[in-house]
């Protein structure tokens, strides 16, 4: 069996190939900017060259003189449209064309629309702005930033978690560390460019745009355009990478919709890679102070995590990963605090494992430092601090297989062969280092609707307004229907990525598989109930049997006794051509408004730390080997092993691929990714894929993913924990620990680059 299709273990589904694989290898998977629209006009953005101030004058004459130019949408043209709102469906409250105030570099100042892409680009570049410029504030330590506490200020952040008396415990601890860590600005950089295509059919607006949240966008765009949401449709059948960047809608969408209305023609605007850095969201830079105190036996008695995060002037976006780090181990006492630092920057947003990536990096790097301070093996140190209940609310974990993950990954990695002495392991001119870290991600679930139709021909049509961002959600939703209805996967068609379908929550927070599969399960079970009732009715083929004694397999209803009947015959006896069920799934603990909120595009999340009965997380353990050239300090990661437990695995192939991608993201966080900010101008410098470094094929060698079996019925009806974001949590700390092991240098500021090792 090849590595891409791991043999399923207990509670793990078959590694079926993706249902859309053929479309993707033949160029027939149509992403939003591929969808045809007749008589299309092309839009190109003009953006600000200052980060703070006012646009005093726009000179448009040169742009208007470009042959083929059709229109320029700029100040004054959006006055009849409401400003964007900051929230789950909206990236920012900045309405760039509502107001001449400039809040950040690269802010939209106009949209040029022309007959051709070339003419639109030419015109956009000829738009000249005059500014009243103020000195901008770029980031931490810049004069003029404003620092506020996240808790109480931002509705996104509930509280600074705490437990016990940290100060006393830390003062009394026999062994302690007090260190600071930082992570840089990062941009998602999905390979698909951001784009909006809008056209009107009478009073109906259709928007083709890559989206992780078609229902939320429909509602938010309708609000901005003062329309009935029923008249707005967002179409996003395939998404070319998202990683959070396509979760909230940006102001461009409404601008392009207005342009299409003015022209009476479809308008397509594909944002350039460079412009995306300022017009989309990003992961803001963070800073951390961590204090850990422990007894000589290695038991942690005191843990404090303080975080600082950059956000924009108008919007208090919060990462706030202390909720997870404060519950990670059996600390005796916990103290946390999150602060927001406001600067002249575009509003940050969700990027793959938004809170956990920076916060767990800091925690796990500190855990390794603490293990060194204690003279303990880092795996043993974590084993000693494995909790029975989480330290904040003293709730049990619904399931926690962290130690199994450590044991299996350590075994596969060969951790026992590690010589703990610094710099002791070498291969010629290469210093070898080995490190490990914990991965954690909260398991959440949200309400979701799905429509499933089983026809007399044995075909299944499954509709759900979720989003295929590469996770394989189409495939696993189809697998769930296949299993419950006893129909082969190739007889199932799965429709997603359209706001006219039954609503699904935003594809974020690793909730999609759990939420979608729970809804599909509910719809399929309603079909089963109808089928079984008809089959067992008086005069039916299985009359006298009870419903719970049946299974569906290969197009048949099979009773425990062995008696069976064809589904086709039951449907015929019912005198129907199909059974169709529309299911609305609401998780345990959902409020009475939960389904209404789903349709309104503001779904409730449940699980994680919020439930009364238990806290719900997926866990993993990652081990990396680094090799560092003793002369050049070049850093390579030739080997990485991750073991993860995430409840029921729907499909071992797509699960492994997601975790693998996450681990490689983690290597990128450790060694490559950083958006450089020019502090004088509050401007991103490396705004392209040549200078914004991401891992390439040559950066990755031996990578192993272990799927640790785990059963958890408490998380949701499907028993699924999300894993799309789990894989890149902790990885960077494992790399930092390995670098320390090889060199004795503790790098606390990401990314780890050659210059830090030469210093």
Partner 1 sequence: MSKPSASHVAALNRRNFMTGTVSAAAAVPLLGSQAKTQEVTQSGARLREPVVTTLRINKQRHELSLDPRTSLLDALRDHAGLTGTKKGCDHGQCGACTVLVDGKRVLSCLSFAVMNDGKDVTTIEGLASSDGKLHPMQQAFIDHDAFQCGYCTPGQIMSAIGCVNEGHAESENDIREYMSGNICRCAAYPNIVAAVLQARGETRGA
Report, as residue numbers or ranges, the catalytic residues: 725
* φ, ψ (nearest 5 deg) of residue 415: -60, -30
Is 609:718 a contact under the CB 8 Å cutoff?
no
User: Which of 251, 433, 472, 647: binder of partner 1 (CB under 8 A)?
Assistant: 472
User: Which of 13, 84, 184, 240: binder of partner 1 (CB under 8 A)?
Assistant: 240
Among the listed ranges 134-142, 364-372, 566-574, 695-703, the one in contact with partner 1 (CB under 8 A) is 695-703
Is residue 456 near partner 1 by the rule CB under 8 A? no
In angstroms, the CA 333 to CA 301 distance is 6
Among the listed ranges 52-60, 78-86, 115-123, 316-324, the one in contact with partner 1 (CB under 8 A) is 115-123
User: Which of 279, 455, 654, 743: binder of partner 1 (CB under 8 A)?
Assistant: 654
Is residue 665 near partner 1 by the rule CB under 8 A? yes
Q: Is residue 162 within a helix (H) or strand (E), and if so which, with residue range?
A: strand 162-163
3-class state of residue 438 by DSSP: strand
Is residue 241 near partner 1 by the rule CB under 8 A? yes
Taking each helix axis as running N to C, give the angle between helix 567-574 and helix 512-536, from 0 to 180 degrees, rounded to the nearest 10. 70
268 to 297, contacts with partner 1 by CB under 8 A?
270, 272-273
* φ, ψ (nearest 5 deg) of residue 754: -50, -40
Q: Which is nearer to partner 1, 154 or 279 (CB)?
A: 279
Is residue 67 near partner 1 by the rule CB under 8 A? yes
Among the listed ranges 86-94, 462-470, 486-494, 533-541, the one in contact with partner 1 (CB under 8 A) is 462-470
In angstroms, the CA 417 to CA 210 distance is 47
First-to-last CA distance in the chain?
Answer: 46
Is 233:497 a contact under the CB 8 Å cutoff?
no
Q: Which is nearer to partner 1, 469 or 571 (CB)?
A: 469
45 Cβ contact partners less than 8 Å away, ≥ 6 residues apart: 108, 110, 111, 112, 124, 252, 269, 271, 272, 275, 279
Q: Sign of dihedral through CA atoms 521, 524, 525, 526?
A: positive
Size of the site for partner 1 (CB under 8 A): 71
Is residue 530 near partner 1 by the rule CB under 8 A? no
Is 348:92 a contact under the CB 8 Å cutoff?
no
Q: Which is nearer to partner 1, 302 or 667 (CB)?
A: 667
Is residue 700 near partner 1 by the rule CB under 8 A? yes
Cis peptide before 751 (omega within 30 of 0): yes
Is residue 634 near partner 1 by the rule CB under 8 A? no
Is residue 722 near partner 1 by the rule CB under 8 A? no
User: Which of 7, 39, 56, 118: binder of partner 1 (CB under 8 A)?
Assistant: 118
Place of tokens 């570099």: 105
**Whole-number minimum distance, CB 269 to partner 1, in Å?**
13
Is residue 412 near partner 1 by the rule CB under 8 A? no
Q: Which is nearer to partner 1, 195 or 322 (CB)?
A: 195
**Whole-number minimum distance, CB 23 to partner 1, in Å?**
8
Q: Which is nearer to partner 1, 27 or 592 (CB)?
A: 27
**Whole-number minimum distance, CB 696 to partner 1, in Å?**
4
Structure tokens at 9: 């273990």
Is 461:493 a contact under the CB 8 Å cutoff?
yes
User: Which of 690, 755, 758, 759: binder of partner 1 (CB under 8 A)?
Assistant: 690
**Whole-number minimum distance, CB 643 to partner 1, in Å?**
17
Is residue 429 near partner 1 by the rule CB under 8 A? no
Q: Is residue 552 within a helix (H) or strand (E), and if so which, with residue range?
A: strand 550-553
User: Which of 340, 469, 531, 557: binder of partner 1 (CB under 8 A)?
Assistant: 469
Q: Which is nearer to partner 1, 419 or 702 (CB)?
A: 702
Encoded one letter per residue, x for contact with partner 1 by CB under 8 A and - for no contact, window 166-205 reads ----------------------xxxxxx------------
Is 79:262 a contact under the CB 8 Å cutoff?
no
Is 351:283 a contact under the CB 8 Å cutoff?
yes
Q: How far is CA 284 from the centre of its chain?
A: 15
Q: Which is nearer to partner 1, 179 or 704 (CB)?
A: 704
Q: Which is nearer to partner 1, 146 or 701 (CB)?
A: 701
User: Which of 72, 108, 239, 726: binder of partner 1 (CB under 8 A)?
Assistant: 239
In angstroms, the CA 358 to CA 310 distance is 13
* φ, ψ (nearest 5 deg) of residue 588: -55, 135
* φ, ψ (nearest 5 deg) of residue 258: -65, -40
**C-alpha dihedral, 559 to 562 to 567 to 569, nearest 10°:** -120
665 closest CA partner among 753, 747, 751:
751
750 closest CA partner among 682, 676, 673, 650:
673
In angstroms, the CA 393 to CA 612 distance is 9
**Whole-number minimum distance, CB 218 to partner 1, in Å?**
22
Is residue 495 near partner 1 by the rule CB under 8 A? no
Among the listed ranges 265-273, 500-508, 526-534, 711-719, the one in contact with partner 1 (CB under 8 A) is 265-273
**Whole-number minimum distance, CB 757 to partner 1, in Å?**
23
Q: Which is nearer to partner 1, 201 or 697 (CB)?
A: 697
Encoded one letter per residue, x for contact with partner 1 by CB under 8 A and - for no contact, window 10-29 reads -------xx-xxxxxxxxxx
User: Which of 157, 243, 361, 740: binder of partner 1 (CB under 8 A)?
Assistant: 243
DSSP 249-286: BPTHHHHHHHHHHHHTS-EEEE--HHHHHHHS--BPPE
Is residue 131 near partner 1 by the rule CB under 8 A? no
């Amino acid at each position: 069996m090849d590595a891409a299709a791991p043999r399923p273990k207990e509670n793990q589904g078959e590694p079926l190939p993706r249902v859309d694989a053929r479309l993707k290898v033949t160029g027939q998977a149509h992403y939003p900017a591929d969808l045809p629209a007749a008589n299309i006009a092309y839009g190109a953005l003009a953006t600000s060259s200052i980060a703070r101030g006012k646009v005093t004058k726009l000179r448009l004459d040169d742009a208007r003189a470009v042959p083929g130019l059709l229109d320029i949408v700029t100040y004054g043209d959006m006055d009849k449209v409401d400003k964007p709102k900051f929230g789950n469906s909206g990236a920012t409250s900045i309405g760039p064309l509502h107001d001449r105030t400039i809040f950040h570099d690269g802010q939209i100042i106009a949209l040029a629309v022309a007959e051709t892409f070339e003419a639109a680009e030419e015109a956009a570049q000829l738009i000249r702005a005059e500014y009243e410029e103020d000195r901008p504030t770029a980031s931490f330590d810049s004069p003029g930033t404003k620092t506020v506490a996240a808790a109480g200020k931002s509705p996104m952040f509930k509280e600074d978690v705490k437990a016990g008396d940290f100060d006393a415990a830390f003062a009394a601890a026999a062994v302690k560390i007090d260190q600071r860590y930082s992570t840089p600005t990062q941009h998602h950089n999905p390979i698909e460019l951001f784009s909006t295509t809008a056209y009107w059919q009478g009073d109906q607006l259709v928007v083709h745009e890559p989206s992780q949240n078609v229902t939320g966008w429909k509602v938010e765009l309708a609000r901005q355009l003062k329309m009935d949401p029923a008249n707005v449709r967002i179409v996003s059948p395939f998404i070319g990478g998202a990683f959070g960047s396509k979760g909230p809608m940006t102001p461009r969408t409404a601008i392009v919709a207005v342009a299409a209305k003015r022209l009476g023609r479809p308008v397509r605007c594909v944002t350039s890679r460079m412009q995306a850095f300022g017009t989309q969201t990003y992961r803001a830079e963070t800073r951390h102070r961590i204090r850990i105190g422990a007894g000589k036996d290695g038991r942690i008695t005191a843990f404090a995590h303080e975080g600082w995060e950059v956000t924009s002037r108008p919007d208090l976006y919060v990462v706030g990963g202390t909720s997870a780090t404060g519950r990670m181990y059996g600390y005796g006492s916990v103290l946390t605090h999150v602060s927001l630092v406001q600067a002249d920057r575009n509003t940050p947003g969700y990027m793959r494992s938004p809170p956990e990536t920076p916060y767990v990096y800091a925690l796990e790097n500190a855990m390794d430092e603490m293990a060194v301070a204690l003279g303990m093996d880092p795996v043993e140190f974590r084993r000693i601090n494995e909790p029975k209940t989480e330290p904040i609310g003293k709730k049990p974990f619904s399931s926690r297989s962290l130690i199994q993950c450590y044991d299996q990954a350590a075994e596969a990695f060969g951790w026992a062969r590690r010589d703990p002495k610094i710099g002791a392991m070498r291969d010629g001119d290469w210093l070898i280092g080995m490190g490990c870290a914990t991965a954690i991600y909260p398991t959440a679930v949200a309400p979701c609707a799905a429509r499933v139709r089983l026809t007399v021909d044995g075909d299944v049509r499954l509709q759900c307004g979720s989003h295929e961002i590469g996770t394989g959600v189409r495939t696993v939703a189809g697998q769930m229907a296949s299993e419950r209805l006893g129909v082969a996967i190739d007889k199932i068609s799965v429709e997603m990525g359209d706001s006219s379908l039954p609503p699904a929550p935003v594809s974020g927070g690793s909730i999609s598989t759990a939420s979608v599969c729970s809804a599909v399960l509910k719809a399929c079970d309603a079909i089963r109930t109808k089928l079984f009732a008809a089959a067992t009715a008086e005069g039916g083929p299985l009359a006298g049997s009870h419903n719970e004694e049946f299974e569906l397999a290969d197009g048949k209803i099979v009773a425990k006794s062995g008696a069976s009947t064809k589904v086709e015959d039951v449907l015929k006896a019912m005198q129907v051509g199909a059974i169709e069920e529309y299911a609305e799934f609401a998780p345990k603990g959902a409020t009475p408004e939960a389904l209404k909120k789903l349709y309104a595009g503001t779904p409730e999340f449940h699980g994680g730390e919020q439930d009364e009965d238990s806290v719900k997380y997926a866990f993993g353990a990652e081990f990396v080997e680094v090799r560092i050239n003793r002369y050049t300090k070049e850093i390579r990661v030739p080997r990485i092993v991750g073991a993860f437990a995430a409840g029921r695995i729907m499909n071992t192939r797509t699960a492994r691929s997601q975790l693998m991608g996450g681990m490689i993201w983690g290597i990128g966080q450790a060694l490559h990714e950083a958006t450089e900010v020019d502090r004088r101008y509050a401007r991103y410098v490396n705004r392209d894929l040549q200078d914004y470094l991401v891992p390439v094929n040559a950066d990755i060698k031996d990578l192993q993913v272990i799927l640790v079996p785990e059963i958890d019925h408490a998380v949701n009806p499907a028993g699924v924990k999300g894993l799309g974001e789990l894989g890149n949590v902790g990885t960077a700390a494992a790399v930092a620990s390995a670098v320390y092991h090889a060199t004795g240098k503790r790098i606390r500021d990401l990314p780890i680059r050659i210059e830090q090792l030469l210093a």
